[in-house]
């Protein structure tokens, strides 16, 4: 059973539908009671880091979520779900995040000839060819992005994929049982479904 974290916002239904399309048992988890019974955890996200952390806190999910991740259970963070893995975010005046990976979430720099937010298709250069998420995915494949902030990974040894948009930044991460992507696989057509399929097979 795959548990999808519900913190009060986010694109839960599209991720849920994508996993159901892959014929997987899925449950939306908005409290700590069910997390321990899940085989894998997916954290999709849209919105601000501060609101998401507050939503997790109000639902009593921060401690249980960290416990399940640290137990070795496979975890996939999507977009904001990736950003919250870092130590802190500049968004909404700044806030602390889950701190599972060193680094900070930063606003795309102004004056680089880019529009913020980044909305649309962009490529991912695969840094770790052996990352299970990227099995069957070509280097430089396109995925769909929607975000104003990017992950400045303070532990580059865990960067699995890199994208360029004004700056080069970590667009995919792999640390032991923790996987995360800045793009939206549920909106990235064939390549995105392959990412999700790879994750559920881990």
Residue ranges with strand state E in 103-165: 103-107, 118-126, 141-147, 149-153, 159-165
SS3 state of residue 17: helix
Exactly one of 95, 131, 184, 197 is catalytic; which is it? 184
Would residue 184 show up in a list of annotated catalytic residues for this protein? Answer: yes
**Cα(181)–Cα(196) distance, rounded to whole angstroms?**
11
**Cα(144)–Cα(121) distance, rounded to whole angstroms?**
4
Exactly one of 29, 79, 95, 97 is catalytic; which is it? 79
What residues pair up with 152 in beta bridges, in sequence order?
A: 104
Exactly one of 68, 127, 186, 197 is catalytic; which is it? 186
Whether residue 166 is preceded by a cis peptide bond, meaning omega within 30 degrees of 0, is: no
SS3 state of residue 7: coil
**How many Cα atoms occupy the beta-carbon half-sphere of 133 within 13 Å?**
30
Would residue 127 show up in a list of annotated catalytic residues for this protein? Answer: no
Would residue 147 show up in a list of annotated catalytic residues for this protein? Answer: no
Residue 166 per-residue DSSP state: S
The residues assigned a catalytic role are 79, 184, 186
């Amino acid at each position: 059973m795959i548990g999808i974290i519900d913190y009060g916002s986010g694109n839960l239904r599209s991720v849920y539908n994508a996993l159901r399309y892959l014929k997987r048992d899925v449950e939306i988890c908005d409290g700590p009671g069910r997390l321990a019974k899940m085989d894998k955890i997916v954290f999709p996200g849209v919105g601000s880091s501060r609101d998401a952390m507050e939503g997790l806190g109000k639902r009593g999910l921060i401690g249980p979520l960290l416990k399940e991740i640290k137990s070795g259970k496979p975890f996939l963070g999507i977009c904001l779900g990736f950003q919250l893995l870092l130590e802190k975010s500049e968004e909404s005046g700044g806030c602390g995040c889950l701190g599972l990976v060193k680094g900070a979430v930063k606003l795309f720099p102004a004056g680089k000839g880019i529009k913020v937010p980044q909305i649309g298709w962009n490529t991912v250069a695969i840094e770790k060819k052996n990352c299970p998420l990227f099995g069957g995915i070509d280097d430089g494949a396109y995925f769909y992005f929607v975000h104003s902030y990017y992950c400045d990974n303070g532990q580059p040894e865990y960067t699995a994929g890199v994208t360029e948009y004004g700056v080069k930044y970590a667009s995919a991460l792999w640390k032991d049982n923790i996987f995360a992507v800045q793009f939206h696989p549920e909106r990235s057509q064939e390549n995105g479904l392959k990412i999700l399929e790879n994750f559920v097979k881990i």
